[in-house]
Amino acid sequence: MSKFKELGLQESLLSAVADLGFETPSEVQEKAIPILLESETDLVALAQTGTGKTAAFGFPLIQKIDSASRTTQGLILSPTRELCLQITNEMQLYSKYEKGINIVAIYGGASITDQARQIKRGAQIVVATPGRMKDMIRRGIVDISKIDYCILDEADEMLNMGFFEDIQDILSNTPKEKSTWLFSATMPKEVSTIAKKFMHHPQEITVGDKNAGATTVQHEYYVVGGRDRYPALKRLADANPGIFSVIFCRTKRDTQRVAEKLIEDGYNAGALHGDLSQNQRDLVMNSFRKKQVQLLVATDVAARGIDVDDITHVINYQLPDEIETYTHRSGRTGRAGKSGISMVIITRSELRKISAIERKIKQDFIEKKIPSGIEICEIQLYHLANNIKDTKINKDIDGYLPAINDVLEGIDREELIKKIVSVEFSRFYNYYSKTHDLNSTDHSNKRERGRRSDGESAPKDGSVRYFINVGERDGYDWMSLKDFLRDKLGLDKEDVYKVDTKDSFSFFNTDAQFTPLILETFSDFKVDGRFINVEVSKNPGSRGGGGGRKKDRFRGKKKDGGYKKGNKGGSYKSKSKRKSGFY
Ligand code: AMP
């Protein structure tokens, strides 16, 4: 029997689950669904975004409502228009085989008449943002006086955004006899107040740690001089060729400024903040979703609705004032069972904030170094070589081959490879070979000494850096690759360090004494029929900066390495990945 069936879901939902490719229920689904199906109860569920909570309340809601009746029976309140649409879309997919169900989204910035028309047709489930909902109640367009279920999604975000009174108003239009299900990533005082005020003996479930960030996220910080924030940001992007990232700034002005600079420097970047019109925000979000924009620079408020699963890195260009906000920021990555990295660019004087965040999220930060120019060149070079290897040959080129052969006649293979790679690589090399170290070197203010750095112990004398031709696409992260290497080489925990995984390749360090052993072990080494190749990297002093994934880079066209539209590649597996080992 499928795991979803064991939770008590009816056939129509099980068919939808099968279509969606969900194989195992996520933790929040496993905990919430049976409770909600079996009893009429209030529920408080603490769960991060991206943990599958829409289905955790969506499945029971769909199963419980009477689709033969046109009355509005379920109301879902969500903080932003983005999320509201996302929930509606997901719910529509879930209810695909449930005849007669009408799920309508109500949100600001779109025609109220259209939404009113949809409501009039009879919507058993309404998904709404608080502002527009209140407006529609006031105008008598929507009637929620007979609902049986009210869901407050991302309650902490709604309260953060100042919707307390709106929520209170809306709830006062609902019957006392109903079930309220509250979902929240964190449990600040305001959320507890809502729970106390509007709920009766709610059952509580917690997914992961209360108030803790998602554990699939690795937290890193980079100490730089105040004026080096922007160049540091560029290096972090360049050191992670597949980056698909949200970059958080504190103010709208900084957000706009950083986005403009990135665009000027040839990156595929966009800005998202409150001074933009709804239309401009929609445009940038659409481009981001399609990965045409790879670096989305955003304010906290504007980013609240971002619900995109594949974000590889969250970059804190500046730290937020509130620690709670950091949890929300970093929760934008590491979603749907994928791993993610939250990077903080910080000056020495702000270092104490890191300890405060660590206490809150109950996870350690890793201190990392901004990669040197040469390291970035090396990463980009390997990335380019891999891209060439992976590129599907375009058959239409065949007709031109004789002419191309004529042009390239007399150039041998090695020279040809060098030339092809140079076409793209020189631009990068020319820029980075002249740049300086961006890491702040004054240690007077440093946090406790001997902390983990690059995930491991401090660099040692005679350290050798290696390149290995496996990476995240082969299922490794820095921890599992380190385990693999230690295991194969029979080395101790401390002997392999600075493990830095990219999409299709990785780097690691050992002391020089192990080099013969490593080269010997991997001289003829296969896993699943594939040769695992290890080489000494040309950059032995590497600091192991990046630590991310990548997609096509190098195709940018401007000054010092920018993104070009329509890049693709990398290892973003959505449904197929979900199928195997979600959570
Ligand atoms: P949510 O937290 O509801 O925003 O869900 C995050 C993503 O995970 C969405 O794209 C869902 O379609 C997906 N998802 C939800 N439940 C599962 C599951 N059991 N297996 C695989 N993917 C899921």
Residue 486: which CATH number? 3.30.70.330
Q: Is the CB of 252 under 6 A from ligand 1?
A: no
Let me know whether 142 and 91 are in one domain. yes
Task: Based on the fold, state whether residues 34 and 146 are members of the same structural domain.
Answer: yes
Identify whether 497 is part of a domain: yes
Residue 348 in contact with ligand 1 by CB distance below 6 A: no
Do residue 320 and residue 414 come from a single domain? no
Atom of ligand 1 minimally distant from the CA of 4: 19
The pair of three-digit structure tokens given for residue 330, joined into one six-digit string: 């970093």
Determine if ligand 1 sits within 6 Å of the CB of residue 48.
no
Do 351 and 378 fall into the same domain?
Answer: no
78 lies in the same domain as 193: yes
User: Is the CB–ligand 1 distance for residue 50 below 6 Å?
Assistant: yes
The pLDDT assigned to 541 comes to: 45
Strands 463-468 and 534-536: antiparallel
Q: What is the CA radius of gyration of the chain?
A: 26
pLDDT at 451: 42
pLDDT in tens, the chain (583 residues): 688 999 999 999 999 999 999 989 999 999 999 999 999 999 999 887 778 999 999 999 999 999 999 999 999 999 888 889 999 999 999 999 999 999 999 998 889 999 999 999 999 999 999 999 999 999 999 999 999 999 999 998 888 777 888 999 999 999 999 999 999 987 777 788 888 888 999 999 988 644 344 457 889 999 998 889 999 999 999 988 889 999 999 999 999 999 999 999 889 999 999 898 888 988 999 999 999 999 999 998 888 767 787 889 999 999 998 888 898 898 888 776 567 899 999 998 888 899 999 988 888 888 888 988 888 888 888 888 878 888 888 888 888 888 888 888 888 888 888 888 888 777 777 778 777 888 876 544 445 433 434 434 444 458 888 999 888 888 888 888 888 898 888 887 778 888 888 888 899 889 888 888 898 888 878 777 788 889 888 665 444 333 322 233 323 333 333 333 333 222 222 223 222 222 2
E strand or H helix that includes residue 534: strand 534-536
Count of domains observed in the chain: 4
Q: Is the dihedral of CA 316, 337, 532, 511 positive or negative?
A: positive
77 and 92 housed in the same domain: yes
State whether 183 and 221 are in the same domain: no
Residues 153 and 266 in one domain: no
52 lines ligand 1 (CB under 6 A): yes
Structural domain containing residue 384:
373-432
CA 336 to ligand 1 center in whole angstroms: 6
Helix (H) or strand (E) holding 33: helix 27-38
Atom 4, ligand 1: residue with shortest CA distance: 50
CA distances from 561 to 328, 376, 532 (A): 30, 11, 30
Same domain, 428 and 467: no
On whether residue 553 sits in a domain, the answer given is no
Q: What are phi and psi of 410, to 5 degrees?
A: 90, -10
Kindly state whether residue 547 falls inside one of the protein's structural domains.
no
Cα angle value 404/406/411 (rounded, 5°): 90
Domain membership of residue 573 (yes or no) is: no
Residues 363 and 379 in one domain: no
CA distance 32 to 203: 10
Query: Collapsing DSSP states into helix, strand and coil, what is residue 465?
Result: strand
Helix, strand, coil content of the chain in percent (nearest 5): 40, 15, 40
What pLDDT does residue 552 have? 33
Give the Cα separation of 114 and 106 in Å (integer): 10
CATH of the domain at 22: 3.40.50.300
Instruction: Judge whether 572 lies within some domain.
Output: no
Distance in Å, CA 470 to ligand 1 centroid: 28
Query: Is residue 442 one of the residues assigned to a domain?
Result: no
Give the mutation target among 24, 29, 54, 62 for probing the ligand 1 site: most ligand atoms within 8 A of CB.
54
CB 262 within 8 A of CB 281: no
Domain boundary among 351, 367, 383: 367
Task: Provide CB contacts within 8 A for 457, sequence distance 6+.
Answer: 494, 497
| pLDDT in the model for residue 45 | 94
pLDDT for residue 441: 66
Q: Do 482 and 426 sit in the same domain of this protein? A: no
Write down the residue that tokens 């980056």 correspond to. 243
In a domain, 422, yes or no: yes
For ligand 1, whether the C-beta of 51 sits within 6 Å is yes
Q: Is residue 33 part of a domain?
A: yes
- What DSSP string describes 387-415? HHHHPPP-GGGGGGHHHHHHHHTT--HHH
Q: Which of 431, 363, 529 is nearest to 354 (CA)?
A: 363
Distance 578 CA to ligand 1 centre (A): 8
* Last residue within a domain, chosen from 536, 552, 577: 536
Helix (H), strand (E) at residue 464: strand 463-468
DSSP 3-state assignment of 152? strand
pLDDT at 461: 56
pTM over 0.75: no
What local confidence, expressed as pLDDT, does residue 395 receive?
A: 87
Does one domain contain both 196 and 226? no
